Amino acid sequence: MDIAGTTSETFSPRSPGAPLVIGKITSCSASPLVAPCDTSATSCAAATPKPGVFCNYCSDPADISVADATCNACSDSSTCLSVTCSANKFDDDGQANNGCEAGCPSVVGATSCVACSSAVTSSASTCTTIAACSINGFDDDGQASNGCEVGCPSVAGATSCVACSSAATSSASTCTTIAACSTNKFDDDGQANNGCEAGCPSVAGGTCTSCSSSSTCTAVTCSANKFDDDGQANNGCEAGCPSVAGGAVSCIACSDATTCTTFACDFKFSDDASLASTGGWNVLSASCYPGSFISVTSGKTMKVKKDPSVSGAVVIEGQQRQIFPSVAGRLEMEGVMLSSGSDNQGGGAVTVNSGSASFLECSFTSNSGGQGGAVRVLSGGVSFEECSFSGNTAKNDVSSLLLNS
Ligand SMILES: [Ca+2]
Ligand SMILES: [Ca+2]
Ligand SMILES: [Ca+2]
């Protein structure tokens, strides 16, 4: 408020302690009015005419109206120097004259912050009450300071959920719109809430690794011993290991659909119809693994011989298990090697229980038996002709040991 000037500079501020400011004379009183004002004077005493001169005098800063604040210091009747902000308002720009122009800090996901802690600036304040969460925002942790920190619930197989139902928490909300499906995922049922529930189709002999729909595979990774020979991912890996002519072995591992790398022994008894053309012989064209024990049952005959067209040894590889654990019938072998058989009781490669066995031009190598490094005969007969033995060992040297070389 302006104070009417007097002939003296002794002004009495209305509020004790409020500064008396002597400055340029900027206005004149209405009564008594002495005009013109001396606007160049720097003191009332120097001003002319007087009395009746108003000095621009700040007697009570609270009289200066400032937005959302109380002025508590002034330099003249219209210049506020310092403000005390109202609750939830802040003088962020440090200009007292425009009051406290800033409100509570905004928080993510909320329509607004309606209450916050006191601070010098709004950025130093902490929101204590949010008006409401924005659409698709959720205050899962109940803390106003971080606003509505959670978005729509994520759904399986989708890049994100972009719209969801209103709820107290995100977990209670249901997704209504998904942004997009992730690669190789598909929203086949059109329900956003379960996301993109469909994946690539399953394909024979492999795993579909890329697809254009849940029913159309575009890339496949083949399982072991399976091959995508036709280049059509949608029918998977349709090719397997090659079949082996002759039937004495079957292919169990291969590097491609025409190249077998591992054979399983697939011996049949001599009366099997498939051996009619070879006189009952299993003609072995490749080394093989028994896979399971080969039993020659009573009354049956099994004959195995090397295919003469094959150069080098043809080996029946025991893989540290007995190859022929029970010969109760008749076993005939020609030209093959029996290797790496092992057993704690019987012969490392062969045990003749009650039948008979004959070996022609066979070799026994690196077998380890309980009783009989290579062959044990419990009863029955065995004959060897032009056979060789090397590296066979017996764990228990007893009388039933037939061969231990
Ligand atoms: Ca929150
Ligand atoms: Ca869906
Ligand atoms: Ca294929």
Distance from Cα 168 to the centre of ligand 1, integer Å? 12
- Which of these, 286, 290, 281, lies nearest to 342 by C-alpha position? 290
When pLDDT is cut at 50, 70 and 90, the band that residue 346 belongs to is confident
Tell me how crowded residue 68 is: count the other CB atoms within 10 A of its CB.
18
Nearest ligand for residue 139 CA: 1
Distance from Cα 183 to the centre of ligand 3, integer Å? 21
Tell me how crowded residue 114 is: count the other CB atoms within 10 A of its CB.
16
How many Å apart are CA 365 and CA 377, to the nearest integer?
18
Distance from Cα 220 to the centre of ligand 2, integer Å? 24
Contact 376, 355 (CB under 8 A): no
Nearest ligand for residue 219 CA: 3
When pLDDT is cut at 50, 70 and 90, the band that residue 367 belongs to is very high
Contact 194, 156 (CB under 8 A): yes
Backbone φ, ψ for residue 74 (5° rounding): -145, 160
Residue 49: asked if its preceding bond is cis (omega within 30°), the reply is: yes
Share of the chain above pLDDT 70, in %: 83
Distance from Cα 139 to the centre of ligand 1, integer Å? 4
Distance from Cα 229 to the centre of ligand 3, integer Å? 6
Q: What is the CA radius of gyration of the chain?
A: 51
* Higher pLDDT, residue 27 or 292: 292
Side-chain-facing half-sphere of 204: CA atoms under 13 Å: 9
pLDDT of residue 22: 39
Nearest ligand for residue 144 CA: 1
Distance from Cα 236 to the centre of ligand 3, integer Å? 4
Contact 323, 316 (CB under 8 A): yes
pLDDT of residue 47: 56
Distance from Cα 167 to the centre of ligand 1, integer Å? 14
Distance from Cα 151 to the centre of ligand 1, integer Å? 11
When pLDDT is cut at 50, 70 and 90, the band that residue 36 belongs to is very low
Distance from Cα 280 to the centre of ligand 2, integer Å? 62
pLDDT of residue 41: 57
- Which of these, 394, 365, 288, 280, lies nearest to 331 by C-alpha position? 280
Share of the chain above pLDDT 90, in %: 72
How many Å apart are CA 150 and CA 241, to the nearest integer?
54
Distance from Cα 222 to the centre of ligand 2, integer Å? 29
What string of DSSP letters covers 145-186? Answer: GG-S-B-SPP-TTBS-EEEE---SSGGG--EEEES-BPTT-B
Distance from Cα 107 to the centre of ligand 1, integer Å? 9
Distance from Cα 200 to the centre of ligand 2, integer Å? 14
Nearest ligand for residue 147 CA: 1
Distance from Cα 12 to the centre of ligand 3, integer Å? 103
Nearest ligand for residue 157 CA: 2
Distance from Cα 209 to the centre of ligand 2, integer Å? 20
Contact 200, 217 (CB under 8 A): yes
Distance from Cα 251 to the centre of ligand 3, integer Å? 21
Nearest ligand for residue 158 CA: 2
Alpha helices in 283-365, H assignment, sequence order:
none
Q: Which residues, in sequence order, are CB contacts of 28 under 8 Å at separation 6+?
A: 34, 35, 36, 37, 52, 53, 54
pLDDT of residue 27: 43
Distance from Cα 108 to the centre of ligand 1, integer Å? 9
Contact 108, 148 (CB under 8 A): yes
pLDDT digits (tens, 9 = 90+) for 106-143: 999 999 999 999 999 999 999 999 999 999 999 999 99
- Answer yes or no: is pLDDT of 15 > 80: no
- Answer yes or no: is pLDDT of 49 > 80: no
Locate 345 and state its tokens: 């009781």
Nearest ligand for residue 130 CA: 1
- Which of these, 136, 146, 135, lies nearest to 108 by C-alpha position? 146
Distance from Cα 201 to the centre of ligand 2, integer Å? 16
pLDDT digits (tens, 9 = 90+) for 51-93: 444 445 555 778 788 999 999 988 776 788 999 999 999 999 9
Q: What SS3 state is found at 6?
A: coil
Contact 374, 403 (CB under 8 A): yes
- Answer yes or no: is pLDDT of 95 > 90: yes
Distance from Cα 307 to the centre of ligand 3, integer Å? 35
Nearest ligand for residue 181 CA: 2
Looking at the DSSP bridge assignments, the partners of residue 327 are: 296, 352
Distance from Cα 189 to the centre of ligand 2, integer Å? 5
